[in-house]
Copies of this chain bind each other. A is one copy, B any other.
Amino acid sequence: MSDDNVSVEDDRLMRWNGWGDPAKAKDLPLAVRTLLPLLLGRIRKPEPAAALDEVRVLPSRATADDLAAFAAAVGEENVLIDAEARIRHAGGRSTPDLLRRRAVEQATPDAVLRPATHDEVRACLDVAMERGLAVIPFGGGTSVVGALDPEPGGRHAVVSLDLQRLTGLLRLDEFSGEAVLAAGTTGPDAESLLGARGFELGHYPQSFRYATIGGFAAARSSGQNSAGNGRFDTMVTGLRVATPTGDLELGRSPGSAAGPDLVRVFLGSEGIFGVITEVRVRVHPVPRARLFESWTFPDFRSGADGMRRVAQSAGGPTVIRLSDESETAVSLAQVGRIGKALAKGASVITVYEGDDIAERRSRTSALLSAAGGVSAGEGAAEDWLEGRFDGPYLRDALLDAGVFCETLETATTWSQLAALKAAVEEALKSGFADAGAKSYVMCHVSHVYPTGASLYFTVLAGIRSEPLPVWETVKARVNDAILASGGTISHHHAVGRDHAPWLAQEIGDTGVRILAAIKRELDPRGIMNPGAVISVERTR
């Protein structure tokens, strides 16, 4: 079996130890290879990564009786215990995940289950409850926060519950603009099914090509079109959920005062309370037209002020993104053009889709001009659209070249944005410097609200020792800086296991008690995704 093989049985599987379609993997462009030593000094070439058939996994701890019970629930062919299936479900796609995938010894789940219906999910949970196995719900496998680590949480074994067969457009109410999608449906499949009926969901996070509708809901995703279509939270009108102790059908109307909105208990729950099996979402007719415009600002601060003016007015763009000076300089926003020209200032990309796009562009242009922006034509924005899902391929090439590359994100109010950005940059730069590593930090704003915005950082570093321990130290320092500066521990990547200690700081002890109480009620044996969002200890 080749290193980069993709199972022919399932074309959704991405490269097992990297991102996406192996056929799209690329070497670093010459311009980047020229630029890197200037930014990061001499780079140490890493040890070669282990090939898939070199990886050693421990024997499955699931007993024969466990496996037989699961086989009764989903069919024998949907209970996988082979090494490849287990390795492919061993984690997500954070940089630490990918670094761990390079090793010969890897921790994996003990089995992979593939239920095809809500009732089969229900049956899997019943077996797991009765027999006491931990369950890690698995959608597209694109978590970058450790939400898929095979943590048994004190149980004798852990199974990955892969929703890849739980797919499809279950209902479409064209009149109301509402669709019900099975949770395992991927972004492209959802858009294809809806598009055939003239509708669009319009949710395009960078993980779009692989991530699933259920994952978008469970992780509170936000997509590149959030300025126009809202974050995924706001698209969801209902959920069907299987928990270890009962099912839920939530969301009866677009607005309600029928007690606290329980849909919101499961948005962001990351599988710790149960498994989202169906998602009801707002959809809209496929946009008939699209306009692009890119802008150049003197600096990040003026660009951010332009973004704020747009976000605080109605009828703006569908996509709006601001790259800071560092990101603009290497044109990271347009993966295909990286390093082609060292641009100055801070660039903004706008895309308009749907109705009244000329009016909306005109209104937005006036606001951006007033903030000091100068129109730079359509080209850069079109290039961005072309390459917008390709960033992770670049990371793979960088990691292969020995360059550490990771992203992280947060959000805050407009008035705290510059200070939060400076604090995160300082934590990153000083953290790497203390480890003797040169680093290059870039930032963009890609999700805006009337009251504030997100900050998305990409960091490159030339780490001369083992990168994982260095990154753990630096990331902890960044998380501390985020909380100290009023930011949220995550704007759209979620909590997983990586952010759990900082979530406890963000929501406080009483907040953790609320989550733990819900979990104890729905999942009294603590089988669901142990250690994600809140620590295992808090849920006992």
Contacts and interface: CB of A to CB of B under 8 A. Distances in A.
16 contacts: A177-B450, A221-B257, A231-B255, A252-B506, A253-B410, A254-B452, A255-B447, A258-B490, A258-B499, A259-B503, A260-B265, A260-B515, A262-B511, A314-B355, A517-B520, A518-B518
Task: Indicate the member of A222, A248, A308 with the most B CB atoms within 10 Å.
Answer: A248
A250 B413 contact: no
B449 A415 contact: no
A257 B219 contact: yes
Interface string A485-505: 011111111110001000100
Task: Indicate the member of A248, A259, A411, A416 with the most B CB atoms within 10 Å.
Answer: A259
A93 interface: no
A176 B354 contact: no
A262 B487 CA distance: 16
Contacts of A74: none
Nearest to A145: B257
Contact of A314 (B226, B257, B259, B315): B315
A220 B410 CA distance: 27
Interface string A221-265: 110001000010100010000010111111011111111111011
B452 A248 contact: no
Contact of A411 (B245, B253, B489, B508): B253
B260 A489 contact: no
Interface stretch (A63-71, A76-84, A266-274, A325-333): A266-274
Task: Indicate the member of A265, A282, A284 with the most B CB atoms within 10 Å.
Answer: A265
Given A261-B268, A414-B175, A415-B176, A508 B248 contact: yes
A19 to B, nearest CB: 20
A514 interface: yes
A270 B258 CA distance: 10
Interface string A455-497: 0000000000000000000000000000000111111111100
A344 interface: no
Q: How big is chain A's contact interface, by range?
A: 35 or more
A520 to B, nearest CB: 7
B233 A261 contact: yes
A249 B486 CA distance: 12
A356 interface: yes
Interface of A: 173, 175-178, 219-222, 226, 231, 233, 237, 243, 245-250, 252-262, 264-270, 282, 284, 308, 312-315, 354-356, 359, 363, 410-416, 447, 449-454, 486-495, 499, 503, 506-511, 513-518, 520-522, 533-534
B177 A510 contact: no
A29 to B, nearest CB: 32
8 closest Cβ pairs, A-B complex? A254-B449, A517-B521, A246-B510, A264-B264, A220-B257, A253-B411, A176-B413, A256-B488
Contacts of A256: 220, 411, 488, 490-491
A522 B513 contact: yes
B255 A411 contact: yes
Nearest to A314: B315
A532 to B, nearest CB: 10
Given A245-B513, A260-B268, A359-B359, 8 more contacts: A173-B415, A173-B451, A176-B415, A177-B414, A220-B256, A254-B449, A255-B454, A260-B264
Given A314-B354, A354-B314, A521-B517, A176 B452 contact: yes
Given A261-B264, A261-B267, A253 B487 contact: yes
Contacts of A173: 413, 415, 451
Contact of A413 (B219, B254, B447): B254
A488 B253 contact: yes
A514 B506 contact: no
Contacts of A262: 507, 511, 514-515
B177 A312 contact: yes
Contacts of A356: 314-315, 363
A253 B452 contact: yes
Contacts of A253: 410-413, 452, 454, 487-488, 491
Contacts of A494: 257-259
B255 A491 contact: yes
Contacts of A513: 245-246, 521-522
Given A255-B449, A257-B222, A521-B514, A246 B509 contact: yes
Contacts of A521: 513-514, 516-517
A314 to B, nearest CB: 6
A217 to B, nearest CB: 11
Nearest to A492: B257
A355 to B, nearest CB: 6
Contacts of A454: 253, 255
Contacts of A503: 258-259
Contacts of A231: 255
Task: Indicate the member of A415, A494, A521 with the most B CB atoms within 10 Å.
Answer: A521
A252 B355 contact: no
